[in-house]
Amino acid sequence: MSDWLWMSASELGRGIGAGRIDPVELTEAYLEAARRHTHGQRIYVRLTPERAIAEAQAAHARARTGARQGLLDGVPISWKDLFDTAGTVTEAGSLLLEGRVPDADAEVLVHARAAGTVCLGKTHMSELAFSGLGLNPAYGGNTDPLPGTPPNVNDPALAPGGSSSGAAASVAFGLAAAGIGSDTGGSVRVPAAWNDLVGLKTTHGRLSLKGVVPLAESFDTVGPLCRTVEDCARLLAVLERGVATELGGASLSGARFLVLEPYASDVRDGPGAAFSGALTRLSQAGARIETGRVAGIEEAMGLSPALFATEGYGTWRDVIEAAPDKMYPRILERFRGGKDFSAPDYVAAWRRLRALRALWLAETAGYDAVLLPTVANLPPDVNRLMTDPDYYVTENLITLRNTRVGNLMGLCGLSLPSGVASCGVMMLAAPMAEDRLLRLGAAAEAVLT
């Protein structure tokens, strides 16, 4: 039974369908593992055992009568603590929302429940989702980063990546078959990369944000963190009540990729070497790889403060300023940076960004995807992040630099393990091109891992 904890969600689903795995026993195994794990309370804010067992029992009954709702019916997954869960405290990693209990499930959770997946519980995250590092001392009294900061699977002393930190850790440590997170500037792909998982950033607007605690709704997206590309494809279908992308026969032969400069080469040694090795393997598998720049991306990156922080602060200003002492100072500073821009600044930035998005699409139209190291740095030390404010700022900025390209340009993105610990390879594709992206990802996965 312990082997079940390390199987992919799709493998578990096939086992349930074949009668080899009982959904109730599987759910109990995950719940017990989470309760007993050394880092369990650093990964899950709270488990939902009564709900999980009830959903597993329903899945068991459907399996016995041949009425399963799909491949993932009966498979237990975790949910980032910004997805509303009826009757369960949902605080988005912030004491500002302490005791908040929604009346209804988020729409994507409704869809997941209809597909038969089992909700194990809610996972820790960066405060109000506004950090790529995954550090959350607010839940530890602002002096101790535990238990609000989940561990990194490769070294518990290192940052897990955020803001979907617990979602990644729940999968990486064998405490969930998959995790559902959100990505506004890299919050699915960063923790996926640093914990050697697959992370899918969906196109903005593809998946419902109803019942999702916002950071910046113009950029917020929902996405899964998984062991395999197949799991990402199947969970995307579950979350939107669609049909999973067919991955059979996926190939890199003839695929054309653009390696984006300077973001591909201006990285730290570890991610740089891992990316170089990955490019070699992709090329050997038949991919055509070119290196180049895209006009306007630097200008778009320069618009980031006027867009992300401004919308975030506009969304949360009244709540924040009513009790700023409840926030971790580094996160508070980031939100308050939104005060520096006027409404005309914000409108002008969006008008310019829309023009730059059109330029990006025109200049990348001949490529199947753009390639980058998912993250330009390796996971930093948590203790140093806590004691060195300048280090926190510089590491957070470089952590989100590459992933933010996809959010600014309105793209879908996929982070794949490179085969080197905590180093991911990212593919960025055109808006709503998830099907093509997932097929490319499946073919790349076969040669990278």
- pLDDT tens digits along 76-86: 999 999 999 99
Would residue 80 show up in a list of annotated catalytic residues for this protein? yes
Whether residue 314 is contained in a domain is answered as no
Say what the pLDDT of residue 144 is.
Answer: 56
User: Which among 259, 262, 263 has a CA at the least distance from the CA of 279?
Assistant: 259
Q: Is 163 a catalytic residue?
A: yes
pTM over 0.85: yes
Q: What is the CATH number of the domain that holds 263?
A: 3.90.1300.10
| Alpha carbon distance 394, 23 (integer Å) | 45
Q: Which of 211, 194, 253, 174 is nearest to 377 (CA)?
A: 194
* Percent of the chain whose predicted confidence (pLDDT) is above 90: 97
**Number of structural domains found in the chain:** 1
Mean pLDDT of the chain: 97
Structure tokens at 240: 């939107």
Catalytic residue among 187, 304, 415, 422: 187
Cα 327 to Cα 320: distance, rounded to the nearest angstrom: 8
Q: Which of the residues 94, 126, 131, 163 is marked catalytic?
A: 163
Q: Would 433 be classed as within a structural domain?
A: yes
**What integer is the mean pLDDT of 252-277?**
97
| Domain presence at residue 312 | no
In a domain, 310, yes or no: no
**Digit-coded pLDDT (tens) for 106-126:** 999 999 999 999 999 999 999
State yes or no: pLDDT of 147 exceeds 90: no
Residue 57 lies in a domain: yes
Q: What is the mean pLDDT of residues 180-202?
A: 99
Model pLDDT, residue 140: 58
- Domain limits at 243? 2-301+330-448
327 falls in which pLDDT band (50, 70, 90)?
Answer: very high
Q: How far is 354 from 311, CA to CA, in rounded Å?
A: 16
Per-residue pLDDT tens digits for 10-65: 999 999 999 999 999 999 999 999 999 999 999 999 999 999 999 999 999 999 99
Q: What is the pLDDT of residue 2?
A: 75
> In this predicted structure, what is the pLDDT of residue 139?
76
The answer to whether position 414 is within a domain reads yes
The continuous run of DSSP H or E covering 183 comes out as strand 179-183
Query: What pLDDT score does 143 carry?
Result: 52
Residue from 8, 10, 80, 131 carrying the catalytic annotation: 80
Q: What is the pLDDT of residues 362-384, one digit of tens each?
A: 999 999 999 999 999 999 999 99
Question: Is residue 187 annotated as part of the catalytic site, yes or no?
Answer: yes
Please report the pLDDT score of residue 449 as a whole number.
Answer: 87
Q: Is residue 10 part of a domain?
A: yes
Residue 142 pLDDT > 60: no
Residue 145 binned pLDDT confidence (cut-offs 50, 70, 90): low
Residue 313 lies inside a defined structural domain of this protein: no
C-alpha 346: how far from chain center: 26
